[in-house]
Structure 1
Amino acid sequence: MLEFISLGFKSDRFKTLMSSLGIIIGVLAIVVMLSVGEGLYTGVSDQFSTLDLDVIHVIPGSARFGGPGGDPGSRNAAEPAKFTDKDTKVLENVVGVKNVAPRTSTGVVISFRNTNSSSSLTGVDPDKEDDLKDKVASGRWLTGSDYKSIVIGNGISQETFRMKVAPGNKIRLYYKDRPMDFTVVGVLKEEKEAGFGGGMGDSVGNALYITHKAMDELLGEESYYYDVFQVTVYNPNQLDSIIDRIMNDLRRHHRDEAYDATTARDMLSTLMSTLSMIKYALAGIGAISLLVGGIGIANVMMLTVKERIREIGTLLALGATVEDIRRQYLLEAGVLGVVSSIIGIILGVAVSYLIGSIAGLPSAITPQSIILGVLFGVLTTTIAGFYPANKAAKLDPIEALRAE
Structure 2
Amino acid sequence: MFDRPRAGQNAVLVHVEFPGSDFDSDRAEFIELVRSAGGHVLDVVGGTRKLPDASLFVGSGKAQEVAEVVAAQCAELVIFNHALTPSQERNLEKILKARVLDRAGLILDIFAARARSHEGKLQVELAQLQHIATRLVRGWTHLERQRGGIGLRGPGESQLETDRRLIRDRIAALKRQIEAVRARRARSRVARDKNAVPTVSLVGYTNAGKSTLFNTLTGEGVFACDQLFATLDTTVRRMALAQGDGIVVADTVGFIRDLPHDLVAAFRATLEEARDAALLLHVVDAADSERMTRITQVEGVLEEIGAAQAPRLEVFNKIDLRDDEPPRLERDECGVVRRVFVSARTGEGIELLRQAIAERLALTPEVRDLCLPPEQAKLRALLYQQRAIQQESVSETGMMQLRVCLPAVQLQRLFRQVGFVDPQASAADADAAF
Q: TM-score, normalised by structure 2?
A: 0.23
More helix by share: 1
Higher Cα Rg, which structure: 1
Query: Of the two structures, which has the highest relative contact order with CA contacts closer than 8 Å and spacing of 6 or more?
Result: 1
